[in-house]
């Protein structure tokens, strides 16, 4: 069994370069299918979810190889339009391959995706958008059988600004005849990053980062090269760890604008934050204080992925902070693990009330999902004694080297394998 052993009480100090964004590279790997050639992707994080995406590409007849942190993907041929159930179950974002396969091949067979258990995340919006573009989708034997003799551009309005549905619609629309206009699109920086990749490939996609995206389909695509943006949630994790331990860290290769709601919360809690175009520095010199209610919202609101991480930083704050989770129904599973360490938290439905305590103590805890696992590491760094965090495979899905990064900042943390 793999687990992390964390000794708390050490202030984090130093500089760190932030890895490429998990939520950028996964849809971009699906987007490589649109190009019958070579895609060179720099600053690519080596994650479990990236490996799962590569296996899907190889199942479809493609080839991928690494050169340091550069991933080279060859998609000259696609020999299969079906993704096996066991591959789909590995991660939620596997459904993003559907739009790209339909655009390239006109047919696809997939099962429902897996991933962290955070509550219902239906793909109805994905399927409705693909049907609007002309796809026929039939569920049979646990699989979705999708076909489209000809995709046609149209106007599509999403009921919710879903990141996945936005990405899937863009990818499918790149293979559609005519123009697609997508309204109420998600505005995340990772969607802008995917648009930049598609533009480098020759696709005509405009408007990412706003609520309206326009795609002119059936453009001639070609080989391309692209660099992935920094992972804002990984950056938030290390900022929260520094805040919780009274540290002073400088994060490089990260766009401060992507973390504005997170740094605003940490400033309110008493941290000093300085930033420039590609770096952020945080200094925490005294006990953090409670802040105004934190409500998770679609970007540019406070990200749901950072909810557990900020909560971990505020476990020892003075006062009471209220968290309201508006995105997922089951995103407080980390709370029970925090309470094993002495945290004082009450939850009811989508609300969690965190009453700061003066001391956290070490405990044996279990990562329940990706971000909850990282949050436990943050909490353990500010606790007294030696904590053990199990089920670290969840953390590996989104952090290329959590242990190595934290050790560079002076943390006492090791990874063990019994």
The H or E element containing residue 396 is: helix 393-396
| CB 388 within 8 Å of CB 418 | no
Q: Which residues share a beta bridge with 138?
A: 145
φ, ψ of residue 340 in degrees (nearest 5) = -65, -25
Residue 257's contacts (CB-CB under 8 Å, 6 or more residues apart) are none
Look-up of token digits 């970007």:
299
Look-up of token digits 């206009």:
181
| CB 130 within 8 Å of CB 98 | yes
| CB 5 within 8 Å of CB 386 | yes
80 is catalytic: no
Provide the 10 A C-beta neighbour count for residue 134: 18
Residue 84, token pair as written in the block: 């096996």
Residue-wise DSSP of 63-129: EEEEETTEEEEE-S-----B--HHHHTT-GGGGGHHHHHHHHHSEEEEE-------S----HHHHHH
> How far is the C-alpha of 167 from the C-alpha of 187, rounded, in Å?
11
Question: How are the residues of the chain apportioned to helix, strand and coil, as percentages rounded to the nearest 5?
Answer: 35, 30, 35
Among 62, 116, 146, 271, the one annotated catalytic: 116
Query: Where in the sequence numbering do the catalytic residues fall?
Result: 116
């Amino acid at each position: 069994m793999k687990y992390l052993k964390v000794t708390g009480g050490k202030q984090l100090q130093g500089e760190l370069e932030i890895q490429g964004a998990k939520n950028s590279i996964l849809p971009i790997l699906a987007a490589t299918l649109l190009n019958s050639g070579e895609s060179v992707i720099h600053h690519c994080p080596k994650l479990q979810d990236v490996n799962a995406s590569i296996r899907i590409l190889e199942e479809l007849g493609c080839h991928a190889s690494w050169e340091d942190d550069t991933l080279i993907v060859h998609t000259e041929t696609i020999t299969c339009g079906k993704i096996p159930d066991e591959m789909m179950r590995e991660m939620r974002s596997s459904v993003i391959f559907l739009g790209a396969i339909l655009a390239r091949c006109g047919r696809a067979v997939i099962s429902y995706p897996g991933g962290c258990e955070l509550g219902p995340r239906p793909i109805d919006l994905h399927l409705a958008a693909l049907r609007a573009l002309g796809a026929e989708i039939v569920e049979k034997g646990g699989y979705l059988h999708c076909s489209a003799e000809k995709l046609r551009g149209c106007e599509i309005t999403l009921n919710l600004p879903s990141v996945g549905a936005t990405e899937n619609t863009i990818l499918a629309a790149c293979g559609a005849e005519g123009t697609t206009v997508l309204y109420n699109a998600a505005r995340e920086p990772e969607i802008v990053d995917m648009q930049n990749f598609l533009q480098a490939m020759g696709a005509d996609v405009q408007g990412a980062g706003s609520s309206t995206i326009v795609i002119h389909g059936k453009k001639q695509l070609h080989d391309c090269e692209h660099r992935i943006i920094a992972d804002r949630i990984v950056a938030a994790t290390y900022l929260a760890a520094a805040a919780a331990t009274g540290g002073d860290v400088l994060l490089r290769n990260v766009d401060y604008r992507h973390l504005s709601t997170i740094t605003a919360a940490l400033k309110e809690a008493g941290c000093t934050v300085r930033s420039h175009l590609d770096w952020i520095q945080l200094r925490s010199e005294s006990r953090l204080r409670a802040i105004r209610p934190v409500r998770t919202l679609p970007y540019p609101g406070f990200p749901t992925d950072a909810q557990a991480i900020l909560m971990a930083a505020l476990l020892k704050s003075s006062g009471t902070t209220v968290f309201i989770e508006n995105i997922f129904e089951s995103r407080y599973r980390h709370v029970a693990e925090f309470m094993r360490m002495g945290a004082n938290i009450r939850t009811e439905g989508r609300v969690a009330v965190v009453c700061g305590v003066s001391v956290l103590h070490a405990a044996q805890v279990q990562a329940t999902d990706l971000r909850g696992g990282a949050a436990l590491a943050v909490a353990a760094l500010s606790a007294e004694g030696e904590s053990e965090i199990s089920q670290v495979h969840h953390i590996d899905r989104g952090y290329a080297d959590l242990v190595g990064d934290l050790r560079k900042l002076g943390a006492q943390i090791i990874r063990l394998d019994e």
